[in-house]
Amino acid sequence: MIAIPTLTTDRLTLRAPHIDDFDALAAFYASPRASFVGGPLTAELSWRVLAQEAGHWLLRGFGRWVVEHRASGAPIGIVGLWFPAGFPEHELGWDLFEGHEGQGYATEAAHAARSYAYDMLGWTTLISLVADGNDASTRVARRLGARPDGRFTYERFGDMAVWRHPAPSEVAA
């Protein structure tokens, strides 16, 4: 077991994934919203995804957080640092659950996760992988200052656009 850090932003808390997040995650993965990230999935496969999130932290020492809306305490998405076997380099990823899009939450959470990667882990670069047609995610990548940087084919999600984030020196301040 490792201690998973908690990050706080104006409106959000990024915290360790927990078994109580299963219902929210399963609802997301059963919805059309998950079509860009390997969904829709059955309950069992959604469990595996949640268990993988926890396992990733244990294997890599970093991972993705469950994003909680501070005012309501509700889990609204999963955002963070992802480097499973087969990925070309460290990725910053974001999945927002149904009903929480359009309010800048993904950008706010991803900012916090990127700062953690640069300031606490000392990383010097990050990519985000976005499936073709995932316009909402593309907008988040742009808002974060990322630029297109080629393509990558992942056996689980297919062919995706690579977005390269600005370096630590470019996002300082």
- Which residues lie near other proteins (CB under 8 A)? 1, 17-19, 22, 26, 42-59, 84-87, 154-156
**Shortest distance, position 48 Cβ to other proteins, whole Å:** 4
**Shortest distance, position 51 Cβ to other proteins, whole Å:** 3
CA distances (Å), 150 to each of 88, 117, 129, 162, 164, in order?
Answer: 12, 22, 10, 5, 9
Of 41 and 140, the one with the shorter C-beta distance to other proteins is 41
Q: What is the b/e burial string over 145-162, where b = at least 16 CB atoms within 10 angstroms of the residue's CB? A: ebeeeeebebeeeeebbb
Q: Are 109 and 14 contacting, i.e. CB atoms less than 8 angstroms apart?
A: yes
**Shortest distance, position 64 Cβ to other proteins, whole Å:** 12
Of 12 and 41, the one with the shorter C-beta distance to other proteins is 41
Of 36 and 57, the one with the shorter C-beta distance to other proteins is 57
| Six token digits for residue 116 | 């953690």
Q: Are 94 and 108 contacting, i.e. CB atoms less than 8 angstroms apart?
A: no
**Shortest distance, position 12 Cβ to other proteins, whole Å:** 22
Q: Are 146 and 92 contacting, i.e. CB atoms less than 8 angstroms apart?
A: no
Of 84 and 168, the one with the shorter C-beta distance to other proteins is 84
Place of tokens 């890599």: 60
What phi and psi, each to the nearest 5 degrees, are found at residue 76? -120, 0
**Shortest distance, position 62 Cβ to other proteins, whole Å:** 13
Of 156 and 172, the one with the shorter C-beta distance to other proteins is 156
